[in-house]
Amino acid sequence: MNVELSMCLLDWINPDNIYWNGLCDNPSEGAIRLLEKNPDKIDWDMLSDNPSEHAMRLLEKNPDKIVWYWLSQNPSAIHLLLDKNQNKIDWDGLSFNTSEGAIQLLKNNQNKINWHCLSQNSSKGAMQLLENNQDKIVWHFLSQNSSKGAMQLLENNPDKIDWDLFSVNPSEHAIKLLENNQNKINWRCLSRNPSEWAIQLLEKNQDKIDWRCLSRNTSEHAIKLLEKNQDKIDWRCLSRNTSEGAMQLLEKNQDKIHWQFLSGNYSKHAIQLLEKNQDKIVWFSEPWLRLYGLSSSPYIFTYDYKKMKQNCMLFKEDLMKNRFHPRNIPKFKDWRVNGFEINSLTSL
Count of residues making up the chain: 348
Specify if 15 maps to a domain.
no
* pLDDT value at residue 330: 78
Cβ 50 vs Cβ 29: under 8 Å: no
The torsion region of residue 19 among left (phi > 0), alpha (psi -120 to 50) and beta comes to beta
Report the relative pairing of strands 301-303 and 7-9 from DSSP bridges: antiparallel
As a whole number of angstroms, the distance between CA 232 and CA 212 comes to 8
Specify if 186 maps to a domain.
yes
Specify if 237 maps to a domain.
no
Tens digits of per-residue pLDDT, 110-132?
999 999 999 999 999 999 999 99
Specify if 308 maps to a domain.
no
Specify if 206 maps to a domain.
yes
As a whole number of angstroms, the distance between CA 208 and CA 336 comes to 67
* pLDDT value at residue 1: 46
pLDDT tens, residue order, the chain (348 aa):
445 678 889 999 999 999 898 899 999 999 999 999 999 999 999 999 999 999 999 999 999 999 999 999 999 988 776 767 888 999 999 999 999 999 999 999 999 999 999 999 999 999 999 999 999 999 999 999 999 999 999 999 999 999 999 999 999 889 889 999 999 999 999 999 999 999 999 999 999 999 999 999 999 999 999 999 999 999 999 999 999 999 999 999 999 999 989 998 988 899 999 999 999 998 875 555 555 678 889 999 998 777 767 666 666 677 777 777 778 777 777 776 666 555 544 544
8 DSSP β-pair partners: 302
* pLDDT value at residue 6: 80
Q: Cα–chain-centroid distance for residue 120?
A: 18
For the chain, what is the domain count?
1
Instruction: Sort 55 into a burial class: Cβ within 10 Å, 0-12 / 13-18 / 19+.
Output: buried
Contacts of 318 (CB under 8 A, 6+ apart): 1
Q: Which domain holds residue 205?
A: 162-221
What global pTM score does this model have?
A: 0.80
Cβ 293 vs Cβ 22: under 8 Å: yes
Specify if 266 maps to a domain.
no
Specify if 177 maps to a domain.
yes
Specify if 193 maps to a domain.
yes
Q: Which residues of 191-229 are buried (b: 16+ CB within 10 A; e: fewer)?
A: bbbbbebbbebbeeeeeebbbbbbbbbbbebbbebbeee
